[in-house]
Amino acid sequence: MSDTLQASRTVPATNRRWTQQVQESPADGRRASDATAPVPHEFVHRPMGEDILITSWRRLGNDHFSVIAQWPHNHPYFTPNRGRHHPILAGETIRQAGLLVSHTEFSVPLGHHFILNDIVYTTDPEHRVTGSGPTPVTIDVVCSQTRMRAGALAGSRFGMTFRTGGRIVATGHSHVSVTAPAVYRRIRGERITARRLPGPLPAPVPAELTGSADESDVLLSPTGRPGRWLLRVAPDHPTVVNPTNDHVPGLSLLDAAQQAARALTGGTGFVPYAFGTEFHRYAEHGLPCLIEARRRASAVPGTTMVQVTGVQDGEPVFTSNLTSFDPLP
């Protein structure tokens, strides 16, 4: 089963006040009242304004959209490292853009649940953070394999191409399914009331080994066995924890995967440019989640590939494959 991403409250999908704002937007077709202000947090399932990456969007065709995002340079969590944007920033942008288009253009009511089946993306390894302000990113979004139910989106593949200054800096896609609250309650059963319980966290691995800016961002705890860690998530972490979620958010699993790949390979040298994750089931609160990383043969010369898996109660939770160019001698 895949990971689920959900809104924190149930309201109709159409926000009348916001609709009025976008109708009065400039003649260039932007679907936001301000070119630098983020979209309403309900549309991207992000309660904190600083975590909202999308600023505007517009429809280009029935299944074709243009989305504008800003990649931050001074975000407390998505911190650039060695001149590169955070490795999961493109993945989080794919997630937010898909949610936005689903709610605003495909009539998915807020409060419905998004089951994320996968996130796959490749970034330009030569792209670097420049300037003092955020990096503007234009995203071409094409929806395919689209399924509708009762006039609203039931599932789609969101294919995306990211450009900065006219240059392609990333491509990717995600397959998403949508379920109504009643269906989600049947799927989750008693788990729907589960929440992360407060308590002492297990010791982290060194932050520098995972590429984390701070110890609180480290998602791995040592097990005493090489290539194996336990998932650790601070219950009040403002970015990787959604207090309304009845399971561990997918963002935590994505970052745990890239942290494990870095830790396995010695830290600073491994910066993934290709990142593919398939979600198999929910990562539950209250159960240990074993994160295991191992090297795999790479088809691209001069690169290192690492496969990271998450296992809980003997069942696979996710599988990630990450590829990085080897450091120059």
Q: Which residues contact 169 (CB under 8 A, 6 or more apart)?
A: 123, 124, 127, 137, 162, 163
> Mean pLDDT for each consecutive 10-residue tract of the chain (329 residues)?
35 33 34 55 91 96 97 89 89 97 97 96 94 93 97 98 96 97 92 76 91 89 96 80 81 94 87 96 92 96 96 97 88
Q: Do 70 and 131 form a contact (C-beta atoms < 8 A)?
A: no
How many domains does one find in the chain? Answer: 2
Rounded Cα distance, 97 and 186, in Å: 28
What are the counts of helices (DSSP H) followed by strands (DSSP E) for the chain? 6, 14
Rounded Cα distance, 10 and 205, in Å: 39
Within this chain, do residues 208 and 115 fall inside the same structural domain, yes or no?
A: no
Within this chain, do residues 39 and 162 fall inside the same structural domain, yes or no?
A: yes
Q: Do 241 and 278 form a contact (C-beta atoms < 8 A)?
A: no
DSSP string of 217-248, one letter each residue: G--EEE-SSTTEEEE---TT-TTT--TT-SS-
Q: Residue 33 sits in a domain of what CATH number?
A: 3.10.129.10
Task: Note the pLDDT of residue 16.
Answer: 28
Within this chain, do residues 36 and 111 fall inside the same structural domain, yes or no?
A: yes
Task: Note the pLDDT of residue 40.
Answer: 93
Helix, strand, coil abundance in the chain, percent, nearest 5: 20, 35, 45
Within this chain, do residues 144 and 43 fall inside the same structural domain, yes or no?
A: yes
Task: Note the pLDDT of residue 37.
Answer: 62
Task: Note the pLDDT of residue 329.
Answer: 67
Containing structural domain, residue 220: 194-325
The one-character DSSP state at 186 is: H
Q: Do 71 and 124 form a contact (C-beta atoms < 8 A)?
A: no
Helix (H) or strand (E) holding 68: strand 64-71
Within this chain, do residues 174 and 198 fall inside the same structural domain, yes or no?
A: no
Within this chain, do residues 7 and 134 fall inside the same structural domain, yes or no?
A: yes
In the structure encoding, which two tokens stand for residue 215, read together? Answer: 């110890």
Rounded Cα distance, 176 and 102, in Å: 10
Within this chain, do residues 160 and 243 fall inside the same structural domain, yes or no?
A: no
- Examine the fold and report which residue of 151, 186, 221 is the final residue of a domain before the chain moves on: 186
Rounded Cα distance, 271 and 53, in Å: 22
Within this chain, do residues 201 and 180 fall inside the same structural domain, yes or no?
A: no
- Examine the fold and report which residue of 186, 212, 247 is the final residue of a domain before the chain moves on: 186
Within this chain, do residues 134 and 263 fall inside the same structural domain, yes or no?
A: no
Task: Note the pLDDT of residue 34.
Answer: 34
Task: Note the pLDDT of residue 219.
Answer: 95
Task: Note the pLDDT of residue 107.
Answer: 97
Q: Which residues contact 62 (CB under 8 A, 6 or more apart)?
A: none
Within this chain, do residues 17 and 159 fall inside the same structural domain, yes or no?
A: yes
Within this chain, do residues 20 and 159 fall inside the same structural domain, yes or no?
A: yes
Query: What does residue 105 show for φ and ψ, rounded to 5 degrees?
Result: -115, -15
- Examine the fold and report which residue of 152, 186, 220 is the final residue of a domain before the chain moves on: 186
- 197: exposed, middle or buried (Cβ count in 10 Å: 0-12, 13-18, 19+): exposed
Q: Are strands 303-312 and 289-296 parallel, antiparallel or unpaired?
A: antiparallel
Rounded Cα distance, 227 and 294, in Å: 7
Task: Note the pLDDT of residue 14.
Answer: 38
Within this chain, do residues 159 and 85 fall inside the same structural domain, yes or no?
A: yes
Q: How many CA atoms lie within 13 A of 19 on its CB side?
A: 8
